Structure 1
Amino acid sequence: MLIDKDSKPEDTIFYLSAQILLKLKEIGKINLGQIEILYKEVNEKQPYFKFNLAINFLYLIDKVKIEGGDLVYVSKKYEDS
Structure 2
Amino acid sequence: MLIDKDSKPKDTVLYLSTQLLKKIKSQGRIELASLESLYHEVDDKQPLFKYNLALNFLFLIDKVNVEGGELVYVSEKNEDS
What is the TM-score when the length of structure 1 is the normalising length?
A: 0.92
Q: Alpha carbon RMSD of aligned pairs, Å?
A: 1.2
Between the aligned partners of 2:76 and 2:49, the Cα distance in structure 1 is 26
Is it true that 1:75 corresponds to 2:75 in the alignment?
Answer: yes
The residue aligned with 2:66 is: 66
The residue aligned with 1:9 is: 9
Moved over 6 A (4+): none
SS in 2 for 1:55: helix
Where in structure 1 are there 5+ consecutive unaligned residues?
A: none
Between the aligned partners of 2:7 and 2:29, the Cα distance in structure 1 is 30
Q: Which amino acid aligns with 1:15?
A: Y
Where in structure 2 are there 5+ consecutive unaligned residues?
A: none
In the comparison of the two structures, how many residue pairs are matched? 78
Matched residues, percent identical? 66
Between the aligned partners of 1:62 and 1:12, the Cα distance in structure 2 is 20
- C-alpha deviation, 1:10, in angstroms: 0.3
- C-alpha deviation, 1:4, in angstroms: 0.6
Q: Which amino acid aligns with 2:17?
A: S
